[in-house]
Structure 1
Amino acid sequence: MALSGMRGLSVFISDIRNCQNKEQERQRVDKELGNIRTRFKNEKGLTPYEKKKYVWKMLYIYMLGYDVDFGHMEAVSLISAPKYPEKQVGYIVTSCLLNENHDFLRLVINTVRNDIIGRNETFQCLALTMVGNIGGREFAESLAPDVQKLLISSSCRPLVRKKAALCLLRLYRKNPDVVNVDGWSDRMTQLLDERDLGVLTSVMSLLVALVANSHEAYWSCLPKCVKVLERLARNQDVPPEYTYYGIPSPWLQVKTMRALQYFPTIEDPNTRRSLFEVLQRILMGTDVVKNVNKNNASHAVLFEALALVMHLDAEKEMMSQCVALLGKFIAVREPNIRYLGLENMTRMLMVTDVQESIKRHQAQIITSLKDPDISIRRRALDLLYGMCDVTNAKDIVEELLQYLSTADFAMREELALKAAILAEKFAPDLLWYVDVILQLIDKAGDFVSDDIWYRVIQFVTNNDDLQPYAAAKAREYLDKPALHETMVKVSAYLLGEYSHLLARRPGCSPKEIFSLINEKLPTVSAPTVAILLSTYAKILMHTQPPDQELQNQVWAIFNKYESYIDVEIQQRAVEYFALSRKGAALMDILAEMPKFPERQSSLLKKAEDAEADTAEQSAIKLRTQQQTSNALVVTDVHAPNGSASYGPVKIPTNHNTETALVVQETAQPNGTTAKLDPQQAPPSPDLLGDLLGPLAIEGPPDTSAIIDQNLVSGLGTSSSTIDELALATLGEQPNSVQPIGNIAERFHALCLKDSGVLYEDPYIQIGIKAEWRAHHGRLVLFLGNKNTSPLDSVQALILPPSHLKMELSVVPETIPPRSQVQCPLEVVNLRSSRDVAVLDFSYKFGASMVNVKLRLPAVFNKFLQPISMSAEEFFPQWRSLSGPPLKLQEVVRGVKPMLLPEMANLFSSFHVVVCPGLDPNPNNLVACTTFFSEATRAMLCLIRVETDPSDRTQLRMTVASGDPTLTFELKEFIKEQLISMPAVSATPVAPAPASASAPAPAAQPAPSTTDPGALLAGLL
């Protein structure tokens, strides 16, 4: 912008630059805004020069980041000025200050149109620039025809036509219906004959947008695009100003090849031959040079050419040439070029049959796996994974295992999963497969999902020849002093089932096996303890006649865990102790696991889903075909234990036990709490009270001015509001379908666990299984048709709150009879909020149309992860968060009365861990957790609860975090739980020992409330 002659504006800018701090700048800006407002009120005395000066100042203030909420009319009025200096200011400032929905824009549509259709080229350019910048439907409907006329006009200079093409592109992107395809496709064909490369580049940008939306009407443009490429490849009639480092207009080449990729094929043999000649010239003429700018331009053209070669499925010779060229690129030192080489080689592998050619570069790809740049390592891993087959699987998997010990933590989980998938998919023999998986668990146990060790158990169970070898390998790993808990699970399970096959080997007697496993018992979590108890029972079963010393040792452990706080472990201990007294009959009760039915590996299913969702593959294939549903219809849904299943394979401890004990697939909250016994706690100062004041409960501070409290509650919604968020049937037909079970209770249950039934009626069952990691979540909806007729007109719509980004796969319109459909739902938590997402689901069965709205359990506590802290870690954090809004305190009344251990269990159920010993007062508890969102990443949260022993219905709660909104949301969330949710019992009740005639009810939960597939099991 030209500021010459505007002394007042220059002085104002100098004043702003000379301000010593932000406060001085704000005062100077406020003073100037007040002056401008005063002058605008007396507009009659303003000269055009003064009005222009003040509008420039407004724009400068706006660019500094301050709100400018007046003077818009003065800026808009300058557009009508007859002279260029005022008109220029009006157009520029209006473009910056006003958006497409502003009412003032309607006032200037006629003026803008007059400038566009006028003969003044400068005014035309100003008008086109503003229309392109603002866009909007009103501009599009009123001005698009005039912009089109300018573009095809032979009397306009190239400068105006370039701007017209880009303006029309902007209007088309905002409102595609402004371009009438029927009458415009022939015009586009003519425009591609343009000799001016500036106009041609702008027209090609417009063509890319048009064919991306629908290529059908623009087939006549295809040969013209090829001619443009020929002209550029031969450097014919290309002015020097459009030649960049010796490359004729690289931008136009890239746009043209991108436009060609939206056409599914090229049928004309002459056109195809001409295009391949151009592509061949590009492939042969591109090499790495020292000049970075030339490299960037030539590689932009080259990689677009590679994408076009893959899209057109060129001859094998050209494909091999592309691979050879990429092989050169992955060997150079420049990391950007190596990255592009690996990425394009991976894309080529996905869409063409060039695996043998790529294998020649395997050594170089493995070298890239050790590159300092993690993005290059990721691309090398993707490529190795894609190029693996039976001929090179051993080499690649061994390289991945070797790399695993030094790989970044950010890559280990993906690395472990891919190594496990390759080992299963291309294993030359099962012994090698077992070796690989056990090595994988040993080297990267924290990053090995349960699916991986479930799968190896399936293989061993189903192959008798494999069982002695697997048991021997498990025995070897137990000798290691430090063993990951997942390895303890696998070894314990294998030795429990098959250790009797090693009885004659040294060091493998039942006593020695028991002793080795029992050494690990104090170090493992509750779910692993449950597996170890099953292993001990199996060892006793295989030791017949019983070894009295071994039996007494095992019984002592069972007796110890009979009163354990975890109900699952407690029940196992009680029942195994009772069963182990049956003597030789134990052999029949705890017989060896039966073979698992053959079914698709959950690991391979994961791999297929990942390949289907690969961004590189989608980017190419979406240009030629419509996206298909990735919902999987399962018509035979049975888990290894005979029940219906909808997720990773569950490993049962025994199929024949009368009580049907099953190893829990996922870790349950262990519920352990340490009571703050006043007799044990030494007297110490109240370190937490430094900012909280006395422990007597007082009224809460007024936080209403800090954060708006009118938010939709997540878990704490009372049952009276269920009609709004978890409706049953909306239809008013006389045969209205009623849900089975309480929808609200199902929702609340799923808020505290990750799998179960969300909704059920006589025709359909909707189950959910979820995985949560940091601020990401993946839910799978299981839509089960319970009848012998199909469900039609199935529709599912997610209504997400603003803080959740949710994407549901395509749901099929029909669910076949007695089958189950799986629909993945991806969730990203953007920020802290207790609002809930709603699933709007409908289907038709016969004459019944059912529509339900169901709350989804993607709730606040799913993004919490417990973290335990010592006093040395806790108190510095607590003191650093001083007062509102980062630290909020409130007296909560109407609390459901509960003892402190019960409250600790409740906190644990929604992923907040109580830290014992931090508060010397036995009536208080201190807890910690970590909240994950895209905005805050991992944010530490600290909580203190002070209870009143004389009145359990009230307490004082203090919540602190580094984010004001998070602090408020967490405080409100915990308050809801304390008031509306049932407490988690802290005192376990030991069940009576099981007998053959009365199996324990806790071992077999009601199918309609826990397992989405269980109710289908009898039907299928």
Structure 2
Amino acid sequence: MVKVGGYILGEFGNLIAGDPRSSPQVQFELLHNKYHLCAIATRSLLLSTYVKFCNLFPEIKPMIQEVFRTDHNLRNPDAELQQRAIEYLQLSRVASPDVLATVLEEMPPFAEKESSLLAKLKKDKPRVEELEQQAVEKKSRPTAVMNQTSSSSGGGGGGVGALVDLGSPTGAPPSSGTNGLMDVFAGLSGSTNGHAVNGGGVGVGAGSFINDAELKKFVLKQNGVMFENDLVQIGIKLEARGNLARVGVFYGNKTGQALTGFAPSVACPGELASQLIVQAKPVDANLGAGTQVQQLINVECLQDFSTQPLLNLRFTHGAKAHDFVLRLPLFINKFFEPTEMTSEQFFARWKQLSQPTQECQKIFPATQPMDNEQIKTKLSGLGSKLLLNVDPNPENYVCAGIIHTKALQIGTLIRLEPNRQAKMYRLTIRSSRDSVAKHLCDIISQQF
């Protein structure tokens, strides 16, 4: 049990670390308390779990390095245990956070192999009635994308039935079908900041990419469907810590034949190239019929930014080439670290940020019902800390956070004041960097 539990925590312990009962230190101590009772093989596996903790939880890295340094591990007569202790200690010392995240990323599951006999029977005698029934079910079920369970897969796996809804961001119902998504993209046209695009009959207008109305939904959520047509479905799942982020992009082939020459790439146009470092891992050039593949994109935020990287997707379906560009839904608030403050601390800091250039304010009409719980959910989704019982007016909402970039840390305070009689909001943002205050004011005001 220790062996299996240690492996699971090393890979996915971050998913439960928000609960004080399973904080990073608690997870580590529960495992290490049994370390001296375990066999050599289990101890070796636990050392692998510990080094993965260095990636998942940098705050407990010194504790883990002390374990690697002990004589019992560094000078153990078992060569395997000794080698792991030495190599993991050096890896935790020398590697940068970005390199460490790449080396210690989640291991993909083994692909399931289908019986060759069963495959031959399916090929020789296709079950027409079953295929017709599948087609009916496919039309009736909701549009789907890879869920979190399948996101750890590095390659294709399963058929179209494996595409599962990622869920909605703020309690809203999930998308209910292709037609609804197609309405969003219908009629779009124009340039893409110098990137030529050929729609190639993919089901949207030539020159189209995800528009601002669709893109703004991702300000408040970390995953969802960002594009879909008759051929492919593209979803994302984002995780961030400090000024580093990892984006999983999921490509699903909705057709009955392989997509060849499949080549997604990411670019940072203009000044974005000096604000972000983006590294996209390559994927296989062939995406089989009804399969899905994940592409990992590592992002380092060098300084604050206000535009998005572009995702260019090229592939051939049948004899027809397709080439289109999407905006990758990456926003500066994804690099927020929530900050807890008392009322005195909040307003003391608020007064310190009193320069005209440090404040941006916008008054705008409500476009949605002014529901308390919905407002709280949206503000929590920004990534900053929603502070309750801090503002002297109980109708107001305040948030605090630090935006991490490589160049500097940007303290940011948010105050939202609803006027329910007039159905208006006043949004005020004060930040140590004027460009951040202005950009956050623009994207947050669009959410209410």
Alpha-carbon shift at residue 794 of structure 1 (Å): 2.2
Structure 2: which amino acid aligns with 1:824? L
Q: Which has the higher contact order (CA 8 A, sep 6+)?
A: 2
Map residues 831-846 of structure 1 onto 2, 5 A cutoff.
831-846=303-318
Q: What is the alpha-carbon distance in structure 1 between the residues aligned to residue 61 and residue 361 of structure 2?
A: 43
Per-residue CA distance 1:826-867 (angstroms, 9 max, x = gap): 111122222111111121112322222111111223222433
Which of the numbers 345, 361, 364 marks the counterpart of 1:893?
Answer: 364
Alpha carbon RMSD of aligned pairs, Å? 4.9
Alpha-carbon shift at residue 817 of structure 1 (Å): 3.0
Map residues 856-875 of structure 1 onto 2, 5 A cutoff.
856-875=328-347
1:851 aligns with 323
Alpha-carbon shift at residue 807 of structure 1 (Å): 0.9
- Any conservation in 1 of the 2:158–2:291 contact (CA below 8 Å)? yes
- Any conservation in 2 of the 1:739–1:759 contact (CA below 8 Å)? no
Map residues 470-489 of structure 1 onto 2, 5 A cutoff.
none
- Any conservation in 2 of the 1:897–1:952 contact (CA below 8 Å)? no
2:59 aligns with 409
1:965 aligns with 435
1:919 aligns with 391
CA gap 1:787/1:400 in 2 versus in 1, 3 angstroms:
closer
Higher strand share: 2
2:14 aligns with none
1:69 aligns with none
Higher helix share: 1
- The answer for unaligned runs of 5 or more in structure 2 is 1-37, 69-105, 108-148, 173-184
Map residues 503-518 of structure 1 onto 2, 5 A cutoff.
none
Per-residue CA distance 1:88-145 (angstroms, 9 max, x = gap): xxxxxxxxxxxxxxxxxxxxxxxxxxxxxxxxxxxxxxxxxxxxxxxxxxxxxxxxxx
Structure 2: which amino acid aligns with 1:785? N
CA gap 1:834/1:720 in 2 versus in 1, 3 angstroms:
farther
Map residues 335-354 of structure 1 onto 2, 5 A cutoff.
none
Per-residue CA distance 1:601-633 (angstroms, 9 max, x = gap): 95xx8xxxxxxxxxxxxxxxxxxxxxxxxxx43
Structure 2: which amino acid aligns with 1:932? H
Structure 2: which amino acid aligns with 1:393? A
Q: What is the alpha-carbon distance in structure 2 between the residues aligned to residue 843 and residue 780 of structure 1?
A: 19
Map residues 116-127 of structure 1 onto 2, 5 A cutoff.
none
- Any conservation in 2 of the 1:784–1:819 contact (CA below 8 Å)? yes
Using the size of structure 2 for normalisation, the TM-score is 0.56
Q: What is the alpha-carbon distance in structure 2 between the residues aligned to residue 943 and residue 601 of structure 1?
A: 33
1:932 aligns with 404
Which of the numbers 417, 422, 428 marks the counterpart of 1:951?
Answer: 422
1:188 aligns with none
Q: What is the alpha-carbon distance in structure 2 between the residues aligned to residue 732 and residue 879 of structure 1?
A: 52
Structure 2: which amino acid aligns with 1:788? G
3-state SS, counterpart of residue 972 of structure 1: helix
Per-residue CA distance 1:467-491 (angstroms, 9 max, x = gap): xxxxxxxxxxxxxxxxxxxxxxxxx
- Any conservation in 1 of the 2:388–2:397 contact (CA below 8 Å)? yes
3-state SS, counterpart of residue 827 of structure 1: strand
3-state SS, counterpart of residue 874 of structure 1: helix
User: Kindly, what percent of the aligned residue pairs are identical?
Assistant: 22
1:737 aligns with 202
Higher gyration radius (CA): 1
Map residues 322-471 of structure 1 onto 2, 5 A cutoff.
392-396=40-44, 409-411=59-61
Q: What is the alpha-carbon distance in structure 2 between the residues aligned to residue 877 and residue 391 of structure 1?
A: 54
CA gap 1:972/1:818 in 2 versus in 1, 3 angstroms:
closer
Q: What is the alpha-carbon distance in structure 2 between the residues aligned to residue 722 and residue 393 of structure 1?
A: 60
Structure 2: which amino acid aligns with 1:951? A
Q: What is the alpha-carbon distance in structure 2 between the residues aligned to residue 810 and residue 400 of structure 1?
A: 26
CA gap 1:414/1:777 in 2 versus in 1, 3 angstroms:
farther
CA gap 1:847/1:961 in 2 versus in 1, 3 angstroms:
same
Q: What is the alpha-carbon distance in structure 2 between the residues aligned to residue 846 and residue 926 of structure 1?
A: 54
Q: What is the alpha-carbon distance in structure 1 between the residues aligned to residue 362 and residue 49 of structure 2?
A: 55
Determine whether 1:765 maps to 2:415: no
Structure 1: which amino acid aligns with 2:238? A
- Any conservation in 2 of the 1:913–1:927 contact (CA below 8 Å)? yes
Q: What is the alpha-carbon distance in structure 2 between the residues aligned to residue 861 and residue 874 of structure 1?
A: 19
- Any conservation in 2 of the 1:808–1:823 contact (CA below 8 Å)? yes
Q: What is the alpha-carbon distance in structure 1 between the residues aligned to residue 398 and residue 407 of structure 2?
A: 26
Which of the numbers 207, 227, 245 marks the counterpart of 1:777?
Answer: 245
Using the size of structure 1 for normalisation, the TM-score is 0.27
- Any conservation in 2 of the 1:746–1:759 contact (CA below 8 Å)? no
Which of the numbers 274, 278, 282 marks the counterpart of 1:810?
Answer: 282
3-state SS, counterpart of residue 265 of structure 2: strand
Structure 2: which amino acid aligns with 1:960? R
Which of the numbers 141, 155, 180 marks the counterpart of 1:633?
Answer: 155
- Any conservation in 1 of the 2:159–2:290 contact (CA below 8 Å)? no
Determine whether 1:752 maps to 2:220: yes
2:97 aligns with none
Per-residue CA distance 1:63-87 (angstroms, 9 max, x = gap): xxxxxxxxxxxxxxxxxxxxxxxxx
CA gap 1:753/1:950 in 2 versus in 1, 3 angstroms:
closer
Q: What is the alpha-carbon distance in structure 2 between the residues aligned to residue 874 and residue 644 of structure 1?
A: 45
Which of the numbers 782, 788, 792 marks the counterpart of 2:256?
Answer: 788
- The answer for unaligned runs of 5 or more in structure 1 is 1-389, 419-453, 456-598, 606-631, 648-663, 672-717, 979-1020
Length, aligned pairs only: 312
Per-residue CA distance 1:299-333 (angstroms, 9 max, x = gap): xxxxxxxxxxxxxxxxxxxxxxxxxxxxxxxxxxx
